[in-house]
Structures are given as structure tokens and as C-alpha cells.
A = this chain, B = another copy of it.
């Protein structure tokens, strides 16, 4: 399939490689051109403008936040102005429910299709075509994009025909992960101060009741106090909690744990951890318990 891809961070670059390996013809665009050039060796065409990445049957966006997506969609050379009628915009970014609804309306007006398809997984999973993809949008649009989704991960989860439903699922998932971080942070601070070896505690927990990767990975980081380098940076975690709270507020849904998470991420930020992994709330929990501070970035 002829497909464009806008946004070549670690996730976007990984997806590009997976698409190319699956036989798609991929035109990539990135604001910082060097990241696009790097994909030539894998067979990608490099676009000079977002518009040039919009000449196929589909364009994928994989960007940092609402502002970055809006910049690529609504500009003069943007997706809305450039994508052919009938072609589909597949948004893989973690964006707000509100922006997803807005994109749905704007693309419809322009005779284009819109599918929201946020992904779960780290950059290595993106490159290895092992992402978990959650999609929502008109059935026909999703059907037509099938080979794209197949190139991204082993299974596609379709959660409805209204695109923003996929964003609700993505935000719910990230909320649950952030909750795992905070609950492990509290449990480990409690255990450490009570004299329990935290590594032993984690080994027990993840060998029995909590044998899911998210507990192992993040539990390990918190036990070791290894918050740098950041796999997923603190400000991005705070952004996701903010998006959950905003979307929930628009539906009048109180989320007390999300409120706790927000305060914790803000505290971590105020205390100078902006370049650390979002699991750095483990450091905040330790400090609040009066435990000897664990190492800090650059310290």
C-alpha cells in the first residue's frame, strides 16, 4: 500500500521499519529531517513537507501531543489540505478525546476518513511489529487499513466506530499503568522502611499474583531507584494523566486515584525530576517516607 508516515520519534521510526518490511511503500516526513533520511536505507521515500506524505491511500501520524498533531493537520501544507478525498488518516498518537472528536469532524467535512489507532508498546516492539493496536473508526476504513495494522502488531483490537473511543481505551490503559507505578512506589517504600528486602518482595509479587510485565519492569526500576535514562519521560506521564482527567471530567466521572497520580507527578516535576522516567514517583514516595534519597539524574 502507498502510505505516508508523519512523526519519526523512536515509535514512529520503528513503525516505519515494520511497514517497509511488510512490503508497503512508505513516504516519511519529520520536522527534523535527519530522522527521515536515516530511513532511506530501509527503503523509505523522504518527503520535504507533510503534504508530500499525503499522496497515498493513507497517512499515519505518530506525534508527541495534541499541539504537534494540530500543527501537522491544520497547517497550509497540512494533512487536511493535502490528503486526497477517500484516503484515510490513521492517528496513532496519544491525544485527547476532544482532539480526536475534532479530527473526526474535520476530516468528514473534507471528504476524508479518520481512524484513531493508538498503540501500546515500547520502541523495540514498534520495530519488531509487536505493538498492541487499539482502533476505532468506520468499519470500512478499518478494513481498508488492515494490512497496515497487520504490519504493526499481531492482533488488532477494534473498539467501536467512533474514533475517539480508541483514545478512551488508550488513556484508560495508561491510567492503569500509572496506577501500578504509584501503588508499587507506596508498597515498596512501606516494605523498605519496615525492614523487608524490596527485591525479594518484588520477586514474590511478580512470581505469583502480579506476573504481568508492567509490574516486573517498573517494579525493578523502583526497587533499584534507576529512573534515568527515561524510557517514558515524566512530563509525558503527567500529560497522559491530564488527558484522562480532562476526558473524565467532560463526562462527569470522578477518578480519585487519577487525582493522586496528578499530584504525585507534579511533585516529582517540582522537585527537579523532569528528565527522569515517569516511574520516578518511586523516588517521591521514598522521600516522603523519609528514606535516604535514591540517586538523581546528573547527581
Q: Is the CB of B168 within 8 A of A191?
A: yes
> Do the beta carbons of A254 and B289 come within 8 Å of each other?
yes
Interface secondary structure of A, over-half rule: helix
> Pick the contact of A159 from B132, B164, B197, B252 — CB < 8 Å?
B197
Q: A102 at the A/B interface (Cβ < 8 Å)?
A: no
Which chain B residue shows the least CB distance to A166?
A: B196
Given contacts A195-B160, A263-B254, contact A247 B183 (CB under 8 A): no
Q: Give A248 to B264 CA distance when docked, in angstroms.
A: 13
A260: min CB distance to chain B, Å: 5
Cα A211 to Cα B186 in complex, Å, equals 22
Among B97, B209, B260, the residue within 8 A (CB) of A259 is B260
CB distance from A97 to the nearest CB of B (A): 7
Q: Is the CB of B252 within 8 A of A266?
A: yes
Is the pair B252, A186 in contact by a Cβ cutoff of 8 Å?
no
Residues facing B in A167-196 (CB within 8 A) are 168-169, 172-173, 175-177, 179, 182-184, 186-187, 189-191, 193-196
Q: Which of A107-152 contact B (CB under 8 A)?
A: 120, 132, 134
Contact for A195 among B162, B209, B244, B290, CB less than 8 A: B162
Contact with B along A228-259 (1 / 0, CB 8 A): 00000000000000101001110111111111
**How many residues from A make CB contacts under 8 Å with B?**
73
Q: Is the CB of A288 within 8 A of B271?
A: yes
**A258 adjacent to B210 (CB under 8 Å):** no
- Is A204 in contact with B134, judged by CB distance below 8 angstroms? yes
Q: Knowing A190-B168, A213-B209, A247-B194, say if A290 contacts B252 (CB, 8 Å).
A: yes
Quote the shortest CB–CB distance from A219 to chain B (angstroms).
Answer: 10
User: What chain B residues lie within 8 Å of A134 (beta carbons)?
Assistant: 204
| Complex alpha-carbon distance, A162 and B196, angstroms | 10
Distance to closest chain B CB from A195 (angstroms): 6
CB of A159 to closest CB in B, whole Å:
6
Name the distance in Å between A49's Cβ and chain B's nearest Cβ: 30
Q: Which residue of B lies closest to A184 (CB)?
A: B176
Contact A201 B186, CB 8 Å, known A165-B194, A193-B251, A254-B266: no
Residue pairs across A and B with Cβ atoms less than 8 A apart, 11 shown, are A155-B207, A157-B200, A164-B194, A165-B195, A172-B191, A179-B183, A249-B262, A255-B263, A259-B263, A270-B290, A271-B288
